[in-house]
Amino acid sequence: MSIDFIKSLYYEFLSYFVSQKVKYTIKGHCNKCGECCRQIRAFGMKNEQDLKIMQFFLPHYKRFYIKSKDINGDLILSCKDLNDDGSCRIYDKRPLKCKNYPAKTICYNAQMPDKCGFKIIKKEFKDYL
């Protein structure tokens, strides 16, 4: 188990209790394309064992499967509960993490899929002044 994975698990845990520092802001709206559910970047998760550990501690991760890896070797996950058109089969019962997506505060090098109606705006130092 890598130190990056342990950090990932720790930050996932903290996300339920501690507000994160804002480095990015989110603007826009959902296009209901489902692309964000097909390209879930799992920072710090490098292999199937990491995903299984996350699924053990956080059961809502059982709905995800490994789709590929990004250029940093982190897993890209996809949701098993998508219809072919990108809509969610369990929309009324989806986990809180899905309901709150995208998070209003993001502290990592975030990206949204090209088709997504949400855009990530990087905040510069001058924006805080």
Instruction: For residues 119 and 28, give the distance between their C-alpha atoms in angstroms, rounded to a whole number.
Output: 6
Instruction: For residues 55 and 42, give the distance between their C-alpha atoms in angstroms, rounded to a whole number.
Output: 12
Average pLDDT, the chain: 81
Starting at the edge strand that comes first in sequence, how are the strands of the sheet with 40-42 ordered? Answer: 40-42, 75-79, 64-69
Please report the pLDDT score of residue 69 as a whole number.
Answer: 93
| Cβ-based neighbours of 59, under 8 Å, separated by 6 or more | none
The structure's pTM equals 0.70
- Give the pair of three-digit tokens for residue 4: 């990056």
Domain ranges of the chain: 3-9+20-128
Q: Are 89 and 96 in contact (CB under 8 A)?
A: no
Instruction: For residues 64 and 51, give the distance between their C-alpha atoms in angstroms, rounded to a whole number.
Output: 9
Residue-wise pLDDT for 3-36, tens only, equals 777 877 787 777 666 554 556 778 888 888 888 8
- pLDDT category at 44 given cuts 50, 70, 90 is confident
pLDDT exceeds cutoff 70 at 73 = yes
pLDDT exceeds cutoff 90 at 116 = no
